Amino acid sequence: RNIPWPMVTPEQCAHKTVAEGGVNKVALVFGREDSGLNNEELQLCHFHVQIPADPNYSSLNLSAAVMVVCYEVRKAALALAEQTAAAEDEFWDQEKANGEQMEHFYVHLERVMTAIKFHDPENPRQLMPRMRRLFSRIRIDVMEMNILRGILSNIEFRLDNEKKLEVELQEKKRVE
């Protein structure tokens, strides 16, 4: 909860949900009644929704929050159905990377950043949550995902070759 995350209203959430739902699976994640979402769960979300409530009673129960958000999503879906303008994504040459592809990318990215000593899993600070926030903001497509994964794989390949070379040099020195 220390990193500021994009905060939207229920109406903004609804429009984003309907737009994204046309091309990818979308999940609306609601927290537990008593404690909400924990930090790990919050970091998996692309944005957070804040329902403007009365300051004297700023907390809604879970069912009320679900009702507000679902109502806004339904309104946005009906409004979109009435629109005749072509969506931006119709003209995109590749489909956007889905959630599963992004999760594999984050695992790969963290593994490489650890290997090059850029990321310390024992003292992670807020690197991965910030990387998640960055990539969720830009919404990369499948081809861009393949390029990024290719770069990460090439780094891993080169690191492995460097290790092999070091071992060979040490073997040569021992033999001499």
**118 and 68 share one domain:** no
CB 6 within 8 A of CB 14: no
Q: Which residue has the higher pLDDT, 138 or 70?
A: 70
Residue 2 domain-assigned (yes or no) = no
Task: Show which of 62, 90, 118 is a domain's final residue.
Answer: 90
Provide the 3-class DSSP secondary structure of residue 63: helix
Residue 47 domain-assigned (yes or no) = yes
Please work out, in degrees rounded to the nearest 5, the angle formed at the alpha carbon of residue 6 by the alpha carbons of 39 and 126.
45
Query: CATH number, domain at 169?
Result: 1.10.8.590
Across the range 13-34, mean pLDDT stands at 92
In this prediction, residue 170 has a pLDDT band, given cuts at 50, 70 and 90, of: confident
| pLDDT for 151 beyond 50 | yes
Note the pLDDT of residue 91: 65
Token look-up 């590749």 returns: 94
**168 and 115 share one domain:** yes
CB 95 within 8 A of CB 9: no
| pLDDT for 88 beyond 50 | yes
In this prediction, residue 95 has a pLDDT band, given cuts at 50, 70 and 90, of: confident
Note the pLDDT of residue 84: 46
Which range marks the domain in which residue 33 is found? 7-90
Across the range 46-63, mean pLDDT stands at 87
Across the range 71-88, mean pLDDT stands at 78
Note the pLDDT of residue 70: 96
| pLDDT for 160 beyond 70 | yes
Q: Amino acid letter at 65?
A: A
Q: Which residue has the higher pLDDT, 68 or 175?
A: 68
| pLDDT for 87 beyond 70 | no
Note the pLDDT of residue 114: 96
CB 40 within 8 A of CB 1: no
The C-alpha atoms of residue 4 and residue 121 are separated, in whole angstroms, by 22
The C-alpha atoms of residue 30 and residue 105 are separated, in whole angstroms, by 25
**159 and 112 share one domain:** yes
Q: How many domains does the chain have?
A: 2
72: exposed, middle or buried (Cβ count in 10 Å: 0-12, 13-18, 19+): buried
Rounded to 5 degrees, what are φ and ψ at 97?
A: -65, 140
Taking residue 70's Cβ as centre, other Cβ atoms within 10 Å add up to: 13
Across the range 70-92, mean pLDDT stands at 77
Q: Smallest Cα–Cα separation from 10: which of 82, 66, 77?
A: 66
Query: CATH number, domain at 26?
Result: 3.40.1280.10
Q: What is the pLDDT of residues 131-148, one digit of tens each?
A: 999 998 888 999 999 999
Exposure string for 101-113, b = 16+ CB within 10 A, e = fewer? ebeebeeebbebb
| pLDDT for 85 beyond 50 | no
